Amino acid sequence: MADINTLYTLWKEKAADDPDLQKELSEIAGDSEGISDRFYRNLEFGTGGLRGVLGAGTNRMNIYTVRQTTQGFAEYVKEAFPKSPSVAISYDSRNKSELFAKESARVLAGNGIKVHLYRELMPTPMLSFAVRELSCSAGIMITASHNPAKYNGYKVYGSDGCQLTLDAAEIVLAKIAKTDIFEGVKLADWNSSLSGGDINYISDDVCEHYYECVKAQSIHPDICKDSGLKIVYTPLNGTGNKPVRTILSRIGISSVTVVPEQEYPDGNFTTCPFPNPEIKEALAKGLELCKKVSPDLLLATDPDCDRVGIAVPGDSGYVLFSGNEVGAMLLEYICSERTKLGTMPEEPIVVKTIVTTDLVKAIAKEYGAHVIDVLTGFKFIGEQIGFLESQNEEERYVFGFEESYGYLAGTYVRDKDAVVASMLICEMAAYYRSKGISLLEAREKMYKKYGIYCHKQNSFTCEGESGMERMSEIMANLRSTPPVTIGGLSVMRIDDYKQSFSIAPETGAKTVLTLPKSDVIAYMLPDNASVIIRPSGTEPKIKVYFTTTGKNRAEAEALQVKLADDFKAVIGF
């Protein structure tokens, strides 16, 4: 890579297409730290694509890094699909998202690739759907999911509608590395490409078929119509507003109140600096509205509408459910009701990530389902659906989810889908209401049946160059000096997914882990307790996941706090 100051000078000379970038470059003149942070590396392209802070430089999301990435991706697509290659594109509400989508389209058109672009912002799952529906070679989604407003991102999908595989991502990365960011990009004219048919807007028929596929996942299609269910919904200024309200209307829910401050697209997310339904603060406006409206359920989807969080009325205000709890409850509802209706497939399959609750295994056992554990990232759940499809057994897939509020029923898309999840959550609430049970009561019945599982995730921010180094040091130290106990509990087994082995510290016995390599370490403790740590692939954070069990919730939560306090000291925070 060229000298940082040389790069800075080159960008001042060449980056003339975006006045915002020129202004930023002028403002950091003489600021060695600011220049270094923008140019010390190229924004990393991984299996999920790109994600980074908006701004000028090789380590930022801007039209030049997007064009360069798209050029490399275009070359991959043309090699993999030499006959009539095509790519679907969607984008969310973030700052510059529409611009990045159109710039990506121009590069693809410049490389002779047909483009199918949504006319307006659409959720990530609708991009996955369009790839499959239009028989595209690949897909691009411009989004940074639930990251703060200063971020944007670029996710890439294969022809199966699933995020790009590890092997394919390596090929794309190599092609990007060979592309000069200013001189190596083929760029078509927008207007002539649109009028000439090289860039096409996706028709409403595609959206309509998506809604039909979502609605087909309903188990009790008519249960919501007469339920009287009242919903407060917030799309958190993102893409979910139209799709979620459309599907709720179609299943018969007429009382939906949308949080007014968060109804329409706003890339600055002025009322929710962290537009992540996992975080209570992101639901603050929705919870305020609940005090006035008194709904049966609060729904919140993230900006690209692939995650959904909920809150329900309790004795002392609205109670938030975790992603693990919602996923487990949906699994229990789906399996129980499909079993009663005789619609469960033979040898049903449930897919979850390794950091997702093992309560899934107890539920699956009850209904004769097989559980597949995969690495963190919904692309690995989508990959399992693809494996089933290749054997004409996709009907065996019953449900898949990850603890970070991502769920999918059905095989019509290959990514998590907050539209279908919102529909099923409302249907589940209506069903339990018809039995005289609230969602809180249904949750307690589930725990009484399968046992108490307590889950908590702690995240530690590690921004910038020094942050990346710190995360690497933490993981290296844990491998060189593994903890013998955590919170007073003996470490019974260590699963190291980067080194692809599992070891029992007491005996030294090793077994091979067959999942793809990933920088994840799991510490298995007595009584189904565990601690799992991994650097985030999408945020400048290191994440730690705690699972504890107990005779009651208080006991499980007390143990979780003990584990968290001890492990925080182990990693030096």
Backbone angles phi, psi at 175, to 5 degrees: -70, -35
Does 252 lie in the same domain as 333? no
Residues 411 and 464 in one domain: no
Is 44:536 a contact under the CB 8 Å cutoff? no
Domain boundary among 433, 450, 467: 450
CA atoms within 13 A on the CB side of 15: 27
> Which one, of 402, 398, 503, 415, lies nearest residue 455 by Cα?
402
Q: Could you tell me the sign of the dihedral formed by the alpha carbons of 217, 219, 222, 227, in that order?
A: negative
| CATH number, domain with residue 527 | 3.30.310.50
Q: Residues 207-237: pLDDT tens digits? A: 999 999 999 999 999 999 999 999 999 999 9
Phi, psi of 13 (to 5 degrees): -80, -40
**Does residue 197 sit in the same domain as residue 145?**
yes
Q: Of 202, 235, 257, which residue constitutes the final position of a domain? A: 202
pTM equals 0.92
Q: Which residues of the chain have pLDDT under 50?
A: none
Please name which of 543, 544, 573, 571 lies closest in space to residue 482, comparing C-alpha atoms. Answer: 571
Q: 155 and 48, same structural domain?
A: yes
C-alpha 426/C-alpha 299 separation (Å) is: 9
Q: What is the dihedral of CA 323, 329, 332, 337, to 10 degrees?
A: -120
| Residue 367 in tokens | 């209904």
Q: For residues 45 and 30, state if they share a domain.
A: yes
Half-sphere exposure of 38 (CA within 13 A, CB side): 25
State the catalytic residues.
145
Listed in sequence order, the residues at least 6 apart from 456 whose beta carbon sits closer than 8 Å to its beta carbon are 545, 546, 560, 564
- Residues 72 and 194 occupy one common structural domain: yes
Which residues is 511 bridged to in the sheet? 502
Question: Distances in Å between the alpha carbon of 104 and those of 44, 65, 266, 452, 492?
Answer: 18, 10, 22, 48, 49
Same domain, 138 and 10: yes
Composition of the chain by helix, strand, coil, percent to 5: 40, 20, 35
Compute the distance between CA of residue 250 and CA of residue 204 in angstroms, rounded to an integer: 17
Domain enclosing residue 316, as ranges: 211-217+224-320
* Residue that is last in its domain, among 450, 468, 485: 450
Number of domains in the chain: 4
Looking at the structure, do residues 313 and 354 belong to the same domain, yes or no?
Answer: no
Beta strands in 120-264 (DSSP E): 138-142, 151-157, 199-201, 230-234, 255-258
pLDDT of amino acid 1 = 54
At residue 197, the pLDDT reads 97
Can you give the pLDDT at residue 242? 98
459 and 442, same domain (yes or no): no
Tell me the CA distances in angstroms from 448 to 126, 304, 554, one per residue in order. Answer: 37, 35, 14
Regarding whether 496 and 471 lie in a shared domain, the answer is: yes
Query: What is the C-alpha to C-alpha distance for residues 543 and 385, in angstroms, rounded to an integer?
Result: 27
DSSP 240-284: THHHHHHHHHHTT--EEEE-GGGSS--TT-TT-SS--TTSGGGGH
Q: Assign residue 419 the CATH number of its domain.
A: 3.40.120.10
Asked whether residue 308 falls in the same domain as residue 418, the answer is: no
Residues 266 and 338 in one domain: no
Residue 28 near residue 39, CB atoms below 8 Å: no
Whether the CB-CB separation of 13 and 21 falls below 8 Å is answered with no
